[in-house]
Amino acid sequence: MDFLRASDIAHTHHPIAAPVAPDALSRLVQRLEPVGRGAAFLDLGCGYGRWLLEALAAHPGTTGVGVDRALPPGLAEAAAARGLTDRVRWVEADAQGWATDGLFDAVLCVGATHAFGGLDGTLDAARRHLRPGGRLLLGDGIWNAPPSAAALAALEVGPEDMPDLAGLVDRVQAAGWEPGYGHVSTLAEWDEYEFSWTGSLTAWALHEAPTEEERAEALEIARGHRTAWLRGWRGHLGFATLVLHDARGSAPGR
């Protein structure tokens, strides 16, 4: 079973591919304001499209483009269910190299900074696509607590690979962005996300897998992920989503 297939099944009940609850997501996209009619959003690494669709629904008269290197199934249906088909376009492409002539009023990039080699590359990419003074909705991993050896081993990273919340804010400010709002995922949001991820895959393995081989593979992925979470990163790995204002491009009245 390839990872994309496993991930699609794992996100059945939690199509936001980040430890963020739907009400927090709604608040965050609302805080992209002011967003006028005709404004355009770009979601880099859009995944199942939940951030972009919620942003479009929250801001009437806007349009959006979602870019992902592997568009998952169900995006057209998700847009249609919310009456947003005519306002959104999905593009399957490597976000790193993807280019368009126009500039966007807001860029979203949640849980996909690895597409740009990390935080700094993501901030650069966002600025390339953004009109001066626009907004960036950025979601990325942080340390909630100094990482234990078990957390580092489970995530296969070093302590310097992620900042804490203050360090994240320092880095975005150094690149010319100012936080206008933010959300730090709670332990309850993490637990809901990880139980959903592992539980959806487990239920599929036990009740829907078409072959013994796929059942065994899916169970192994779910168990491995659960162990790495519970014995590794739980409580240490955090996630922050920030609404950032482009301080370099802002001017009075914009």
Ligand X SMILES: C[S@@+](CC[C@H](N)C(=O)[O-])C[C@H]1O[C@@H](n2cnc3c(N)ncnc32)[C@H](O)[C@@H]1O
* Shortest separation between residue 108's beta carbon and ligand X, angstroms: 7
* Shortest separation between residue 15's beta carbon and ligand X, angstroms: 7
* Shortest separation between residue 16's beta carbon and ligand X, angstroms: 5
Nearer to ligand X, 51 or 209 (CB): 51
Nearer to ligand X, 50 or 236 (CB): 50
Nearer to ligand X, 108 or 218 (CB): 108
Q: How far apart are CA 156 and CA 216, in angstroms?
A: 24
Report whether the peptide linkage leading into residue 72 is cis, meaning its omega lies within 30 degrees of zero: no
* Shortest separation between residue 66's beta carbon and ligand X, angstroms: 9
Angle, CA 141 vertex, CA 156 and CA 107 arms, to 5°: 130
- Contact positions toward ligand X, by CB under 6 A? 16-18, 45-48, 50-51, 67-70, 94-96, 110-112, 115
Nearer to ligand X, 111 or 134 (CB): 111
SS3 129: helix
The residue with its CB nearest to ligand X is 47
Nearer to ligand X, 209 or 225 (CB): 225
* Shortest separation between residue 175's beta carbon and ligand X, angstroms: 20
The residue type found at 44 is L
Residue whose entry in the numeric block shows the structure tokens 């009619």: 37
How far apart, in Å, are the Cα atoms of 106 and each of 36, 133, 253?
Answer: 11, 9, 17
Q: Could you say which DSSP state residue 84 is in?
A: -
Read off the tokens for 204. Answer: 């599929």
